[in-house]
Amino acid sequence: MRRFILILTALALVIGCKKNYVAQVGTIQITEEDLLQRAKVSEIYYPKSGQRYVALAQLIQGYLDEEVLKQLGYKVDDSVWEAESRRIDENTKAPDVLKKIKDAYGLNKSGYIKTFVRVVYAERYLYNEVFLKSSEIHKEKREQAENFIREASAVPGSFKSLAEKQSLKVATLLVSEKEGIQPYEDSGKKLEPAGRPPEPGGIEQAKFIISKIKDLKDGQVLPEIIEWQEGFQVLRLVKKDGEVYTIESVSVPKIDYDVWFWGYASKIPVRINDPALKSELLKNVGWASKLKIE
């Protein structure tokens, strides 16, 4: 009799879990309560976006990021999430919005951590701290830029032709501490600054570039790469006129984040137990077609 009662109890627990278990990303389960909480957050950020499929998409994205971090060997646990919660409190630029989010969770701290803090952390850390700063991920692109420097330095005047062969665009720029970084104008025609550094040119960037090229001779290629957030920049000094430097610039972009991310994420199993919710997600979220849905 006792054994029979234990079996019934276990069965009840399993049924109860299945009833509230909406989806799973890798090892992370998503409950109906998780969806409701995340929908409130979505509504705060984007009014009228509190649909269940939107909340599910946001959680799937965040938990895929977390699962990729785990695959890459990064620590992801309670201590990390608590530290991230403190970081959010200390660094938020929208305290009113953060207050609304916290109010939506009330005393449900575990829900706040699971459906807000973990998502913020995983997305931020995977992109900013892993992808952008990894020398291994961008090794091939860095080597391309280094090879470009060697070839352009060995053959004077080959800067533009080498760029064309590699389908890279050359931008001619004016750089000064006073005006920052500006496209070069020739006979009234402004040239496209396609090789401009990924982040907008400004006074500080101009000063940094000048510190690198100030000792170059006219026509000389800078023998080192300048790494920006989104790519590797190669520079050639055309001429110096007073305090204004005319340079040619080629940017070798880093590997595309989405390509890199989905190389991992598309292999992580995703299960959605609600057929209608699954259908709505696949219909309305473009990247959902890349998911490994079981």
Sign of CA dihedral 170, 176, 182, 185: negative
pLDDT of residue 253: 94
Range 238-244 average pLDDT: 93
The answer, yes or no, to whether residue 101 has pLDDT greater than 60, is yes
Query: Taking the domains of the chain in order of start, what are their residue ranges?
Result: 19-135+258-293, 140-253
Distance in angstroms (rounded) separating the CA atoms of residues 101 and 19: 27
pLDDT of residue 198: 36
E strand spans, the chain: 21-25, 28-31, 170-176, 180-183, 185-186, 189-190, 226-227, 231-241, 244-253, 269-272, 292-293
| Residue 73 three-state SS | coil
- Cβ(175)–Cβ(207) under 8 Å? no
Range 213-239 average pLDDT: 95
Query: At residue 249, what are phi and psi to the nearest 5 degrees?
Result: -130, 135
Distance in angstroms (rounded) separating the CA atoms of residues 132 and 230: 8
pTM over 0.85: no
Tokens 């990924």 identify what position? Answer: 198
Task: Find the farthest-apart pair of alpha carbons in the chain and give their distance in angstroms, rounded.
Answer: 96
pLDDT of residue 278: 98
More confident site: 54 or 188: 54
pLDDT of residue 104: 97
Range 11-38 average pLDDT: 80
Assign 3-class secondary structure to 100-155. Answer: HHHHHHCCCHHHHHHHHHHHHHHHHHHHHHHHCCCCCCCHHHHHHHHHHHHHHHHC
Distance of CA 48 to the CA centre of its chain: 26
Range 9-26 average pLDDT: 64
Ranking 1-5, 103-107, 242-246, 252-256 by mean pLDDT, the lowest is 1-5
- Cβ(172)–Cβ(243) under 8 Å? no
Nearest to 201 by CA among 221, 177, 181: 181
